[in-house]
Structure formats: structure tokens, C-alpha cells
């Protein structure tokens, strides 16, 4: 399926790289080691978007940050951003960037705290199942639930700038784990992993076209 990128060139002309954020504060920023590799492969094989082969790791203050249209943040524990990192992330998001954050179980409290520092004027708001992110490439009934995480329902939240969603945060869903190599989470069925793949493709297509 052809995908027209938002800056007006064919997707096949623009290699896409997804960068994983190396943050401080004691959280395991380095988790989901195979997630981005597989995410990029799904995107490359299922659309006409040319992608890199694997993730790039960046800090928010790196001068290369703007090379990456999508940042990925994951963890189980505490995130703590410096003031410089908060400012850098805010500027990146306001100038066309996008953050996909995946709660790997235990991230919620610190992530919400840090997002209030990035955008003090707003709170993360629920993204309804009717939102385009769930149907821009694959038709999904909403955010898939990959892991149990206390049996809470899968929930998607967003932050917006000038009407554009700039942060998409998934809680009690764990799309990232569903994208990992099959032997990392052997209890995840092929059906569950396929739902994670479809959601990941939707996220990337949504970001690159809006």
C-alpha cells in the first residue's frame, strides 16, 4: 500500500529511523531491545516505506534528535529528565516530532510527572477508539491488550500541540513487548503479536502522514 508522507515526498524516498530515548532516573530505558528492529521490519514489509534496519539510541539533548520523526520511550520504573532534556523534548515535539511511550509495567507515575513538566498547561487525555490512529492503515477496534498488567484494560493517552497529537502513551497494553522477538515473550501467541504489529504500523503511518 502506498503511503504519502506529510512533507510531500514518496515514502520510498525517505528512510525512516526510530530512536529509543536514553533517559536518566533509574528506569530501564534500554528495554525492548528487539522491539524497534521488528517494528521497522513490519513497516518496511507491509507498506512502501523505506526504513532503517534497527533502532538508534539517543539522548534528548543530542544534536541528532531532529533526524528522527519518532522517538520511543519504554521502561518499568522511574524516569527523571533534566531541565535541558525537558526543554529539548518540548521543542522537538512542537517542531514536528513525535513520542511513542510504552508502559512496560511501573512507568506510569513517573512518566505522567515528567510530561507535566514538558507540557504544564495540559494533562494526558484518553484517545478514543474512534481516533484515526486505530484505523489509518489497519482497522482496529482500539488499542490491543498484549500483557495482563493487573488485568486493567488497555488505555491510550495523548498530548497535543496546535491540534496535532505529539505524544501517544499506552498504558496496560505493552505494545513494545508484543513486538519483541518471539522467544523473548514465548507466552505471547502469534495472534497477539500480530495485533501488536498492526498497532505499531498504524502508529508509524499516522505519525508520518499527519
Q: With bands split at pLDDT 50, 70 and 90, how would you rate the model's confidence at 13? A: low
Rounded Cα gap, residues 135 and 139, in angstroms: 4
Confirm or reject CATH 3.40.50.12140 for domain 11-209, answering yes or no. Answer: yes
Residue 204: CB atoms within 10 A of its CB come to 26
How high does pLDDT run on average in the chain? 92
Beta strands 155-161 and 125-126 are antiparallel
Q: What is the pLDDT, as a whole number, of residue 14?
A: 62
Share of the chain above pLDDT 90, in %: 81
Give residue limits of the domains in the chain. Answer: 11-209
Is residue 9 over pLDDT 80?
Answer: no
Least reliable range by pLDDT among 90-94, 174-178, 182-186, 202-206: 182-186
Amino acid at each position: 500500500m502506498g503511503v504519502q508522507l506529510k512533507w510531500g515526498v514518496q515514502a520510498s524516498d525517505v528512510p525512516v529511523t526510530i530512536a529509543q530515548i536514553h533517559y536518566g532516573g533509574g528506569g530501564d530505558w534500554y528495554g525492548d531491545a528487539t522491539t524497534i528492529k521488528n517494528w521497522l521490519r513490519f513497516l518496511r514489509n507491509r507498506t512502501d516505506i523505506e526504513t532503517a534496519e534497527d533502532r538508534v539510541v539517543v539522548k534528548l539533548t543530542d544534536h541528532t534528535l531532529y533526524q528522527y520523526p519518532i522517538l520511543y520511550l519504554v521502561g518499568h520504573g522511574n524516569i527523571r529528565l533534566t531541565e535541558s532534556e525537558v526543554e529539548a523534548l518540548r521543542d522537538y515535539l512542537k517542531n514536528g516530532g513525535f513520542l511513542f511511550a510504552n508502559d512496560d509495567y511501573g512507568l506510569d507515575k513517573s512518566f505522567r510527572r515528567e510530561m507535566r513538566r514538558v507540557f504544564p498547561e495540559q494533562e494526558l487525555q484518553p484517545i478514543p477508539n474512534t481516533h484515526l490512529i486505530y484505523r489509518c492503515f489497519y482497522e482496529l477496534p482500539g488499542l490491543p491488550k498484549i500483557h495482563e498488567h493487573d488485568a486493567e484494560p488497555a488505555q491510550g493517552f495523548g498530548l497535543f500541540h496546535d491540534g496535532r497529537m505529539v505524544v501517544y502513551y499506552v498504558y496496560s497494553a505493552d505494545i513494545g513487548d508484543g513486538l519483541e522477538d518471539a522467544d523473548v515473550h514465548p507466552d505471547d501467541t502469534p495472534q497477539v503479536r500480530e495485533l501488536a504489529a498492526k498497532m505499531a504500523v498504524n502508529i508509524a503511518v499516522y505519525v508520518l502522514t499527519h
